[in-house]
Chains A and B, each alone.
Chain A
């Protein structure tokens, strides 16, 4: 149980284009989903917290107009990187929390974004 999927697993795009990454909880409903960014050999950097049906809460320094998050249902959250630039190239990982009463997060497999 507690499986989270991400799509695509890898994407290459040209500078200036937008990319959408999907995060789905496959066998549970996730009231809260999280989006992280991870640089090589570094830990997870929380970008935003997404609650179903409400606006995402962004961490300090994360541009909400550049990283658009939509949590339309209890099983799907999307991250759209708008007007991508090479410095946006990174490993993006989502996670989902089972319920308000739980603390453990279950992570997706990640999406490798390369902006050329």
Chain B
């Protein structure tokens, strides 16, 4: 079983839709969770990060963590064509020297 699993998609939604992107993980030691957005042929861009279970909101983006289920989500409200990209979840244990484990990414297309 991979440490982090993510549906690769592709996911295609109409403009304005609410998008739900999800990851599951197997290691209960993961305590720090991140979401990255990667446009084609570009480096990943950090969108959000959180330590705790629950929701964290930033503009149109909401990150949700459920540690009991080992499940994290990223919601995008009022999706725009510019949101079309690959979204990578990432997580790490609390020790600062631990490497970050990335999910394989979900490809999202928002259709005008």
Smallest beta-carbon distance A45→chain B, Å: 9
B16-72 contacts to A, CB under 8 A, are 32, 34, 36, 41-46, 49
Query: Using Cβ atoms and an 8 Å threshold, which residues of chain B touch A72?
Result: none
Size bracket of the A interface? 20 to 34
Pair A109/B42 contact, Cβ less than 8 Å: yes
Query: Using Cβ atoms and an 8 Å threshold, which residues of chain A touch B41?
Result: 91, 110, 112
A-B pair number, CB within 8 angstroms? 51
B60-90 contacts to A, CB under 8 A, are 88, 90
- Selecting from A11-19, A63-71, A78-86, A100-108, the interface stretch reads A100-108
Query: Using Cβ atoms and an 8 Å threshold, which residues of chain A touch B49?
Result: 103-104
Report Cα–Cα, A35/B32, bound state, in Å. 20
Smallest beta-carbon distance A8→chain B, Å: 14
Most A CB within 10 A of own CB, among B43, B103, B104, B107: B43
Pair B99/A106 contact, Cβ less than 8 Å: no
Size bracket of the B interface? 20 to 34
Pair B43/A107 contact, Cβ less than 8 Å: yes
A25 within 8 A of B: no
Pair B46/A104 contact, Cβ less than 8 Å: yes
A60 within 8 A of B: no
Pair B99/A46 contact, Cβ less than 8 Å: yes
Report Cα–Cα, A46/B99, bound state, in Å. 9
Pair A107/B45 contact, Cβ less than 8 Å: yes
Closest 4 A/B residue pairs (Cβ): A107-B43, A43-B104, A103-B32, A100-B96
Interface residues of A (CB under 8 A from B): 2, 4, 6, 34, 41-44, 46, 49, 91, 93, 95, 100-110, 112
